[in-house]
Amino acid sequence: MKLSALLGLCGLILLLTSCLARDIRSKNQLSFFIASAGSGDGANLGGLPGADQICQARAQSVGAGSRRWRAYLSSGARPGIPAVNARDRIGRGPWYNAKGIVVAMNVTDLHSASNQLNKANSLTEGGTMVNGRGDKPNVHDILTGSQADGTAFGGEADRTCRNWTSNSQGSAQVGHHDRQGGGADPTSWNSAHPSRGCSQANLQGTGGNGLFYCFASK
């Protein structure tokens, strides 16, 4: 009996050690997530720097703050200031989710049909699945301000809620992390349709909650 108990205890220790090792590896690999919370002020994220800070803080909360994190957001051109493309902000890849799954190998793969972004893989920093179409509430609209190739929109239309500083005027281009729903391109993870407005209520009314993608750029 004592030998059986000892063997059982050893087996449990080995199992716990293996689980801990996998958890450490996942944290070290983590390089992509949907921020589990946005600013709480609609699409007013404090501009790109504010959004980056949110990504950094969320990563820090799960022990992955040693890397440099950037929000996958584009911004429009302003007088004397060029547009910023989301695809140019996020490094080279590859990118791993909180479960250690590779969601894309590089920027080209990320913006191709071969990426592994979907509801099961587009997780929060803590590895939690984000509600999608059919869930209550549906929050599958993810802020990007981007075209399908990850570049900023041109022209006069505001697709970034005044470059992520407005909680009232403007609109934000969003993607569907679950790759389904309505809009011009409902299966697009980064460019499905514009939101109805920039306030928290308007983002929620469209099917979102002011969430956005975060990538480790280094």
Rounded to whole angstroms, the Cα distance separating 56 from 214 reads 9
Give, for all 218 residues of the chain, the pLDDT tens digit.
Answer: 455 555 455 454 444 443 333 444 445 699 999 999 999 999 999 999 999 999 999 999 999 999 999 999 999 998 888 999 999 999 999 999 999 999 999 999 999 999 999 999 999 999 999 999 999 999 999 999 999 999 999 988 899 999 999 999 999 999 999 999 999 999 999 999 999 999 999 999 999 999 999 999 98
Task: Please give the model's pTM, rounded to 2 decimal places.
Answer: 0.88
Which residue from 211, 19, 14, 1 is spatially nearest to 123, judged by alpha carbons? 211
The residues with which 10 forms a beta bridge, in sequence order, are none
- SS3 state of residue 66: coil
28-216 has which CATH code?
Answer: 3.10.100.10
Structure tokens at 80: 């004397």
Helix and strand numbers (H, E) in the chain are: 5, 8
Q: Are 18 and 106 in contact (CB under 8 A)?
A: no
